[in-house]
Amino acid sequence: MEAAAAPGPGPGPGRARPGPPQPQPQRRELFRGQRKESEGSLDCPNLEFGYGDADGHGAELSELYSYTEEPEFGTNRRCFEEDFRTQVRGRRWLELDGAQQKAYVMHLLDGLEVVNRDKRLKVARAILYLAQGVFGDCDNEGDVLRWSRHNSFLLYQLGTFTAFLELLHMEIDNSQACSSALRKPAISLADSTELRVLLSVMYLMVENIRVEQESDLPEWKTCRETFRMELGFPVRPEEPFALLLFTMVTKFCSGHAPHFPMKKVLLLLWKVLLFTLGGFEALQAMKVRKREELGLPPLPEDSIQVMRSMRAASPPTYCIELVEQQQQKRGHRSRRPLMKQDSLDIYNERDPFKNDEAGIDEEEGDEVDGGIEGELDLMERDAIVPAMPAQRAPIERVSFPKGLPWAPKVRQKDIEHFLEASRNKFIGFTLGQDTETLIGLPRPIHESVKTLKQHKYISISDVQIKNEEELEKCPMSLGEEEVQETPCEILYRAMLYNLPQYMIALLKILLAAAPTSKAKTDSINILADVLPEEMPITVLQSMKLGIDVNRHKEIIVKSISALLLLLLKHLKLNHIYQFEYVSQHLVFANCIPLILKFFNQNIMSYITAKNSISVLDYPHCTVHDLPELTAESLEAGDNNQFCWRNLFSCINLLRILNKLTKWKHSRTMMLVVFKSAPILKRALKVKQAMMQLYVLKLLKIQTKYLGRQWRKSNMKTMSAIYQKVRHRMNDDWAYGNDIDARPWDFQAEECTLRANIEAFNSRRYDKPQDSEFAPVDNCLQSVLGQRLELPEDFHCSYELWLEREVFSQPIRWEELLHYQ
C-alpha cells in the first residue's frame, strides 16, 4: 500500500523554496511502513456500535472460557451427575422444588470442607455446573442462561461466595503449586485447574447477580444490594475483594505465580469494580447528585446522550481518490495548487515545536485526512459507498437542534487571563484575580466578560482543589475533614501504598497482550490459561489454537482498558488528587507510549477481526452437537460487521489517553514527541462517532505544537475538530498563539502536582500518633495512670530487664543535687 500514499512536498514546478528538512531514507521507509492502509477502508460502513458498560450478557459469559476449556464442560457435568444420583434418585435438578434445591446445595457446601484435594475439586466442579446453568437438562441457550441466573442467586443466598473466597485464599497461598509451576519449562491449563474452577464460579455469580432484568424477583433485588454492599463494604475495610485480585495480578507479574489464570482474574476484577463502584450511567447520576450537594449549577448536557446522537464523519479513502492513487502508481504525480508563503518560513524557523518530519506529515495529510469530511456531504459520500447490512439492532438517536453538539465551557482561569490581557492593554496594570471590576475597560470588553461568565463552568475538581488548599493553610481552625465512606474511598485507601505496583503490573500485561508487541524472552507469559497440555499436531488444531490465543489476548485488553477507565473516572469524582495519583503513576509507567504503540497498527483490521468460533462459544456449545470444524469454517469466523470487544477496547484506551493528557501540557508534549498525530489520524478511518470524537480531542490538544505547516496541510481534520469537539472560549488551539505554546519547564509542572498529591495523601491517610498538632497531657497522675501496651517478649524477659537495667545499676543520689 506504500504506493498509495500521496506525493510528499519536494522541489518541483511551482516550488521555488526549499521544503522542510527531509528525514533520512531509513526513517522515511520506517514511517512509510507504519502507514499500512486498511484493505477494507474503501467500503467501511457506519458501525452501529452501542457503547456501554459491557457487551450482551451471553457474550460476557462466553468470554470467560477459552476454546481449549471446552472439554471441561463435560467433566463438570459428570462430577455433578455422579453426586446428584446418590442424593436424589430418579429426578432432575429442574424438577426439584426450592427447599430440595437448597438442601442439595448445602450438601455440596459441606463437601468443600473435606481435606482431600481431589474430592474438594469434584464438589467445586459440581457447583460450577450449577452456576453454568445445568445445561444437560436444558433444550436451548435461553434456558441455560435463565437457569444460570437462578442458580447463581441460590448459591449466593446459601453462602457459596464466602466459601469459595476462603478456598481462593488457600490456592493463592499454595506454595507447592507455585514452586511446581516455576520448575516447569511450559505452563498449561492443567497447572491452574483449581484456580480456574474457583474463579469461574465467582465470576458467574458476580456477573449474573450484577445484571438487572425486569423479570427479577423482589428477593433477587434484595440479594443484589446485599452482595454489592458485601463486596464494596467488607467486614475488614483494609481487605476489599478487589484488593485480593489486584494482589494476584502483581504476584503473577513478579514471576512468583506464573500459573495464575490472568484472563479470569482480570475479567472478575473488572466486573467487581463495575458492580461495586457503578457503571457509566450510575457515574453520571452520582456526578449530578454531587454537583447539587456542592451547590454547583447543573451540567449543560448529558454527555452520554450527546455522543449517542453524533454521527460519524466519512472514512478517509474513497473511489475518486483511489483512481488518483492508481494514477500515482503509474508514475503520474498530481500537482498541488500553489500556496502563498509570505512570512511562513520565518515563522517556522522561530517555532520551537515545529515538526521536523513535516514532509511526512504532509503525506499523511493527503492520505488520512482526505476523507474527514463535514457532515454536510455525508449523504453524497454514503451514496458512493454501499453500506454493509448491520448485524446489531439500530441504536436510538436523540434529535438535537442544528448546530454544534456541545455547549461551550469557560474556566475561571480563562476569564482571569482575558481580563489580565485587557487591563494591560487599556489601563496598564492588573487587578490579580478580580473578575468583577471592569472600570476603565471599553464596552466591548464588558460584553465579552458577560458572555464568558454566561458559559462559566465550575467542575467538582475545582471545588475539591480549593478545599484542599484551605485545609493545608488552616489545619487547626478548619479541623478534620469529614470523609464519606464510599466503595471508591475504601478501595483507594486499601490500594494506596501498593498502587504503583498495581498500575505497573496492569500495563505489563497490557503490553504483552497488545497485537503490536513482539515476543521477547523477558516478557511475561499470559497464555498459561489457554495453552493445552498437548500441543496441536494437525493444521486444523493449530488454526483453532491460533484463533483462541488471539481471542484470549483481545479479552485481556478489553478487561484492562475497561477497569482502568472505570477506576480513573470514579476516583476523579471521589477526589481529584486520588485520580491524579493513579494518573501520574500510569504516566511514569509509560502508559502514553504504550497506548500509542497499540494504535500503531492496521486499526480497521483489528476492529473487524474475526477471532471467534461461534459454535464453540458458551452457551451454544453446551446444548448443540458440535459440527465438524474445517479450515474454511474457521477462516470465515462469524457474520458480525465488527468485533464488539475490540472496538470497545479502542474507545476505552482513547478515553484513558484523554484523561491522562487533559490540561497537562507536559503530557501533551509527550504526544507530540512520540509523533502521535499520524497514528491518531489513521484511527479516524473507523467510521464510529464516539471513537472519532476521542481521536479528534487528542489531535486538538496538540495542534498548537505541531506547527503552522501541519495545520495548513490538515485543514479537514481541523474542520472535523471544530464540528465535533467542545469549544473552549479563548482557547487558541487552532493558531498556536497561546502563551501555553511557548517552551517552559515541563518537569516543574509534574513536580508541583506530585507535591500536592503527597500532601493530600499525607494529610488524609497518614495520621501519626505523635503529631505536633496532637493535644498534650500535662497532668502527672493521668500520664502515670495510662496503660501501656507492652510487647509479648517483654513479659517473658521482664525479670532479666529488671536485673540488668535496675538492680545492677548503682543509684547515685548526689547527681540529683546537680539538677537543682
Return the pLDDT at 702.
Answer: 92
How many angstroms separate the CA atoms of 387 and 368, rounded?
21
Give, as one character, the DSSP assignment of residue 314: P
Buried b (16+ CB within 10 A) or exposed e, 602-627: bbbebbbbbbbbeebbbbbbbbeeee
CA 695 to chain centre: 16
Instruction: Report the pLDDT averaged over residues 547-552.
Output: 95
Query: Does 500 score more than 70 pLDDT?
Result: yes
Would you state the pLDDT for residue 238? 65
pLDDT at 647: 96
pLDDT band at 771 (very low <50, low <70, confident <90, very high): low
CA distance 576 to 762: 15
pLDDT digits 0-9 by tens, 15-36? 333 444 444 444 343 333 443 3
Q: What percent of the chain has pLDDT over 70?
A: 80
Question: Does the structure show a pLDDT above 80 at 403?
Answer: no
Model pTM above 0.85: no
pLDDT at 564 over 50: yes
pLDDT tens column, 50-89? 999 999 999 999 999 999 999 999 999 999 999 999 998 8
| CB proximity list for 56: less than 8 A, separation 6 or greater | none
Q: What is the per-residue burial (b if ≥16 Cβ within 10 Å, else e) of 706-728?
A: bbebbbebbebbbebbebbbbbb
Beta bridge partners of 409: 728
| Mean pLDDT over each residue of the chain, to the nearest integer | 82
Distance in angstroms (rounded) separating the CA atoms of residues 815 and 462: 62
CA distances from 123 to 464, 646, 680 (A): 51, 36, 51
The per-residue pLDDT for 636 is: 67
Which residues are paired to 728 by β-bridges? 409
CA–CA separation, 71 and 339 (whole Å): 67
pLDDT band at 343 (very low <50, low <70, confident <90, very high): very low
Rounded to an integer, the average pLDDT of 448-472 is 93
> What's the pLDDT tens digit per position in 660-671?
999 998 999 999
Judged against a pLDDT cut of 60, whether residue 802 lies above it is answered with: yes
Q: What is the pLDDT of residues 700-747, one digit of tens each?
A: 999 988 888 999 999 999 999 999 999 888 888 887 665 454 555 677
How wide is the angle at C-alpha 666 spanned by C-alphas 662 and 668, nearest 5°? 50
Whether the ω angle into residue 619 lies within 30 degrees of 0, i.e. cis, is yes
How far is 661 from 654, CA to CA, in rounded Å? Answer: 11
Residue 707's Cα: distance from chain center in Å? Answer: 31
57 backbone dihedrals φ, ψ, rounded to 5°: -60, -45
The CA distances from residue 590 to 323, 368, 586, 671, in Å, are 41, 27, 7, 12
Q: Distance from CA of residue 1 to its chain's centroid?
A: 33
